[in-house]
A and B are shown apart, each in its own frame.
Chain A
Amino acid sequence: MNLFKKTLLALTLVLTGAAALAQNVVLYSSNNPEAIANAGAALKKKVPKAVVQSVTGGTGTLLKRIQAESANPGGDIFWSGGFGTLSAFQGVMEPYVSPEAKAIDPKFVGPKNSYIGTNVHVMVLMVNERQLKGLAAPKTWADLMKPEWKGKVVLTDPARSGTAFIQVYGLLKQFGREGLERIARNAVVVQSSGQVYKSVAAGEYAVGITIESSAYEFVAGGQKEIKLVYPADGTYLGPEGMFLIKGAKRMAEAKQFYDVLLSKDTQEMLLRENFRRPTRSDIAVSKITSMPDLASLKVFPLNLQVATDEYEQLIALWNLALAKAKQS
């Protein structure tokens, strides 16, 4: 019994001791593990002792969690969420002006410096050439509304994904309700944005409406049949940002991480490694990757603040369009 008790004591000590580690930063992130790992590596270069501990999940889930934990925050910094989504959570944000913020395009800075953009998503069509089966690859949104694309286009339920919301909202603003209905007729709707690019890559669909950085991974990874198409009639932008969590227990370390994520080195690295289009104005995207510069793309402008206000309406309209499509 003596030996048993001693072992038990030792175990308890080790377990509780393990909880207290050296300089951590707790990151709440919806990004993929590789991007997070790269960000962590970048931080380590500037602050060798830093260790990034990440909790991953969907943007919505994590924001709700931050709100639930507001009395006793478990996280220090959040990266990244769509601007539209973030604007509703300003109450849990700690405003901060980073020295690096000067290089950021002002339209990517949140109100009162509560949050700031780290990267910009561009909505693209991810095409699997092998699945085209004789059809010509679509060049515009309008192409996708043609009847021959029925059942061949996949996109995410806008209620489930911030970027999907922007996609569908953009379609509504650009093409009106009729355009929305035409897309709804052809579309297959999935529940997570991951499903879109995974299933296009798997060859289950010919076209997926997704974000540039996700689709480009397959191109960069060497899957030859995957091509990116930027809709020529105007695509939509979805800036994503980060913020310091109000009341963070490791605020100093979090600020360091914040600065690092905005630095030129890091943004270039994230562009190269994770295909995240930077928000800094001093980075030439087309020179570093085969992705086009923002200036060379036709962008259909959206007011994301208004979009957030019109959230319920959009979802309702979309569901109506889907219901109508099922009947026909």
Chain B
Amino acid sequence: MRALARWLAWPWGLLTLLCLLVLAVFVVLPIGVLTLNSLKGADGGYSLAGFAKVLATPEYLQAIINTVLLASAVTTCTVALGVPLAYVVARHDFPLKRWLAVLPVATIVIPEVIVGQSWLMVLGNNGLVSNFLRDLGLPVPSFYGWTGLIFSMTLVYYTYIYLGVLAALRGFDGQLEEASLSLGATPAATRWRVLLPTLAPAVLVNALVVFTLVVGNFALSSMLGGQVPLLSVQTYSLFVSEVGGDPVLQSSLSVISIILVATALLVQKWAVERRQVHMTPGRAPAAQALRSWQGGVFTVGVTALVALSLMPLVAVFVGAFTEARGPVMHWGKASLRSMERALSLEPEPIFNSLFFAATATVVGTALAVLVSYLIVKKKSRLSPLLDAAVVVPLTISGTVLGIALVQSFNTGPLVLTGTAFIMVLVYVVRRLPFGVRNASSMLYNIPTSIEEASISLGVTPLRTFVQVVLPVMKGAIFSAAILMWATSISELSASVVVYSAGLETMPIAIFRQVDTGRLGLASAYGAALVTLILVPVLVLPKLLRINLFSLK
């Protein structure tokens, strides 16, 4: 008992307990409630009836199968695109190679909901390019369904593979390849037998990440899914239609989604992380310039890729300033009406987004810094629990999190639905694992001795944290904050579930407008959203002299 009292009196003990409590109430509890709801029987007891019904309904079963198929397809395509790209970039020099540096920024800056909307504008409904091609007499396949889904998701997610493999290639010990060649293996055989096996873990880890992202994907799935039933969209529809009733089916589907993602993450932990190889860094083979025609091919390819990745940005701004009458876009005619409507007539989503994202950035970054400090520097017996609690949000998709929160906080002792609190909560919970990862990686590099030095000089541990640790972490904190801002303000899948009157954000507004076919207004909100993300992401790192992507 005395040990417990002493631990609580230690400021870090108390803080660990508080953080654990916060996470328990807002992360673990909702998932528990969700799981319990999925097991509700008709007469009030527990049963697997919900799951049975789900698996027996062809629509839902098809949705699960489709989701797994889609995730596999997209993963394959992203690997097929990302790995060769990374190889070419790591090993070769060609004109305009530097443009590729813009790709990771593009992935962060352009929200999925805008990617979906942009491709729709170009290749979908009365699409600009579709109409053009149709006028030429060419057959244009419907962009809705598998085509659109695989195409757009590949373009959104391939950066994960690309960046992961690029990092692995840059850390690759070139002397291993030289050793292989000296032993008589051909370059091709060397690539196959020496390079590929060491790259495999990097590819697999990121491929599994892409898999889980596709399973939980909501924006693109619902906008481009067409007639293809998908898990996240079905779960959302169930949630919407089960309002006021028993949330059994939506819970069952949610739990299935969690199982899918958790399985993928477990596979990653066991099968892949064990096989990761450590090599002497700094000995990567230098990039070689390419012969002229090969260099030309790569330059063209790279330009095309960058263009495709940035297309949504361009499309959204063009669409925002194009004349739109109801659901009909009049390409070629400029008009400020959509922008006017978004900015002055119905600016509420913009204000809401700003407010919620700003609050979430402050709260989330502070929480992430505190939690990572507790996990890395102030280990105690509760630390493994804290560590685990932080990882939980990674295993659930936004839709599932939203549903879990609504089920937990709609009634009972703590009612949060209908308040701004739940919107901010959703952002914080979803982005917390990334913030903690960011901050932790920096904290591991800060020696404990500087804290002890400060304490030895007469400063209390709490003040030492503020005066010594935080200033050294400045770069990581800003980086985490900017990333938190960018990802919060573009969040859709969870916020669309928990929002209610007056709490609509920009992504939700875009989603609703696209749903009723109003691409002009959707683009106007989209342009505002992208601007609000671009400015901090491009300007602040230069001002504050930090590197956003070195701390992944």
Complex contact flag A–B (Cβ < 8 Å): yes
Q: Are B419 and A15 in contact (CB under 8 A)?
A: yes
B244, A65: Cβ atoms under 8 Å?
Answer: yes
Residues 503-515 of chain B: 1 if any A CB is under 8 Å from the residue's CB, otherwise 0?
Answer: 0000000001101
B332 interfacial contact with A, CB 8 Å = no
CA distance A16 to B134 in the complex (A): 54
* Cα distance A75–B501 in the bound complex, in angstroms: 9
* Nearest opposing residue in chain B for A223, CB measure: B328
A202 in contact with B240 given A37-B346, A194-B515 (CB within 8 Å): no
Closest to A225 in B: B126
Complex CA–CA separation, A61 to B366 (angstroms) = 39
Q: How many residues of A contact B (CB 8 A)?
A: 45
Q: Which of chain A's residues have a CB closer than 8 A to the CB of B462?
A: 1
**Is B455 close to A, CB under 8 A?**
no
A58 touches B243 (CB 8 A): no
- Cα(A24)–Cα(B462), bound, Å: 46
CB of A33 within 8 A of CB of B518, answer yes
Asked if A204 is at the interface of the complex by the 8 Å CB criterion, the answer is: yes
A153 within 8 A of B: no
Determine the distance from Cα of A55 to Cα of B517 in the docked complex, in whole angstroms. 18
Would you call A323 an interface residue if the criterion is a C-beta within 8 Å of the partner chain's C-beta atoms?
A: no
> In the complex the two chains form, is A222's CB within 8 Å of B501's CB?
no
* Residues from 386 to 433 in B contacting A, C-beta threshold 8 Å: 418-421, 424
Least CB distance, B1 to chain A, in whole angstroms: 28
User: Is B292 on the interface with A (CB-CB < 8 A)?
Assistant: no
Residue on A nearest B366 in the bound complex, by CB: A4
Decide if B191 is an interface residue (CB 8 Å cutoff): no
Rounded to whole angstroms, the CA-CA distance of A26 and B500 in the bound complex is: 11
With a CB–CB cut-off of 8 A, which chain A residues contact B326?
A: 34, 217-218, 220-221
Query: Do B243 and A65 touch (CB < 8 A)?
Result: yes
* Contacting pair A15 B420 (CB below 8 A): yes
**Interface status of B124 (Cβ within 8 A of chain A):** yes
B359 adjacent to A15 (CB under 8 Å): yes
Does B419 lie within 8 Å of A68, measured CB to CB?
Answer: no
Docked Cα-Cα span, A197 to B421, in Å, equals 37
- In the complex where A15-B421, A33-B516 touch, is A201 in contact with B126 (Cβ < 8 A)? yes
Query: Which residue of A is nearest B517, CB measured?
Result: A198
Q: Is A11 located at the chain interface by the 8 A CB criterion?
A: yes
CA distance A130 to B130 in the complex (A): 14
0/1 interface trace, chain B 318-336, chain A, CB 8 Å (1 if under): 0000001111101000000
Chain B CB within 8 A of A53 CB: yes
Specify which chain B residues have a CB less than 8 angstroms from the CB of A201 in the assembled complex.
125-126, 327-328, 517
Determine whether A161 belongs to the interface, using a CB cutoff of 8 Å to chain B: no
C-beta contact mask, A165-200 vs B, less than 8 Å → 1, else 0? 000000000000000000000000010001001100
Is B445 on the interface with A (CB-CB < 8 A)? no
Partner pick for A222 among B144, B328, B346, CB 8 A cutoff: B328
B547 interface contact, C-beta 8 A: no
Q: Chain A interface mostly helix, strand, loop or mixed?
A: helix
Q: Which residues of B contact A247 (CB under 8 A)?
A: none
The reply on A292 being an interface residue by CB < 8 A is no
A74 and B419 alpha carbons, distance in the complex (Å): 12
Which residues in B have their C-beta under 8 angstroms from that of A223?
A: 126, 328
Between A4, A60, A198, the greatest number of chain B beta carbons within 10 A of the residue's beta carbon is seen for: A198
Instruction: Kindly list chain A residues whose C-beta atoms are within 8 Å of the C-beta of B517.
Output: 194, 197-198, 201
* A220 contacts B325, C-beta separation under 8 Å: yes
A306 within 8 A of B: no
Complex: A4 Cα to B327 Cα, angstroms: 48
B124 touches A53 (CB 8 A): no
By beta carbon, the residue of chain A nearest B346 is A37
Write out the residue numbers on chain A whose beta carbons fall within 8 Å of the beta carbon of B418.
74
A310 to B518, CA, bound (A): 36
Closest-by-CB residue of A relative to B348 is A53
Verify if B543 is at the interface (C-beta below 8 Å from A): no
Partner among A7, A11, A61, A222 whose Cβ is within 8 Å of the Cβ of B330: A222
User: Is A110 an interface residue when CB atoms closer than 8 A count as contact?
Assistant: no
Decide: B328 and A218 in contact? CB cutoff 8 A: yes
Q: Does A80 contact B (CB under 8 A)?
A: no
**Could you tell me the distance between the alpha carbons of A6 and B200 in the complex, rounded to whole angstroms?**
50
For residue A136, CB closer than 8 A to chain B, the reply is: no
Candidates B327, B330, B355; contact of A218 at CB < 8 Å: B327
Contact indicator B243/A37 (Cβ below 8 Å): no
Interface residues of A in 77-114 (CB under 8 A from B): none
The 8 A CB mask of B458-499 against A (1 = contact, 0 = none) is 000010001000000000000000000000000000000000
Q: Say whether, besides A32-B516, A61-B240, A74-B500, A221 and B328 are in contact (CB < 8 Å).
A: yes
Tell whether, in the assembled complex, residue A33 and residue B513 are in contact, meaning their CB atoms are under 8 Å apart: yes
Q: Could you mark each residue 33-57 of chain A with 1 if its beta carbon is under 8 Å from any beta carbon of chain B, else 0? A: 1100100000000000000011111
Q: Is B4 in contact with chain A by the CB < 8 A criterion?
A: no
Q: Is B344 an interface residue (CB 8 A)?
A: no
Q: Within 8 Å of chain B (Cβ to Cβ): is A64?
A: yes
User: Chain A: which residue is nearest B355 at the CB level?
Assistant: A18
Q: A52: nearest residue on chain B (CB-CB)?
A: B501
By beta carbon, the residue of chain A nearest B143 is: A202
Residue of B240, B243, B362 with most chain A CB atoms under a 10 A cut-off: B243
A203: CB under 8 A from chain B?
yes
Known: A32-B518, A218-B327. 14 other contacts (CB 8 A): A7-B362, A18-B355, A19-B419, A21-B502, A53-B501, A58-B241, A65-B244, A69-B244, A201-B327, A201-B328, A201-B517, A204-B144, A217-B328, A221-B326
Question: Which 3 A-B pairs rank lowest in CB-CB distance, beginning with the nearest?
Answer: A68-B244, A221-B328, A221-B325
Chain A residues with a Cβ under 8 A of chain B: 1, 4, 7, 11, 15-16, 18-19, 21, 24, 26, 32-34, 37, 53-58, 60-61, 64-65, 67-69, 74-75, 130, 190, 194, 197-198, 201-204, 217-218, 220-223
Chosen A-B contacts, 25 in total, with CB atoms closer than 8 Å, are: A1-B462, A11-B362, A18-B355, A19-B419, A26-B501, A32-B516, A54-B501, A56-B512, A61-B243, A64-B245, A67-B244, A68-B243, A69-B244, A74-B500, A130-B134, A194-B516, A197-B517, A201-B125, A201-B126, A201-B327, A201-B517, A202-B124, A204-B144, A218-B328, A220-B325
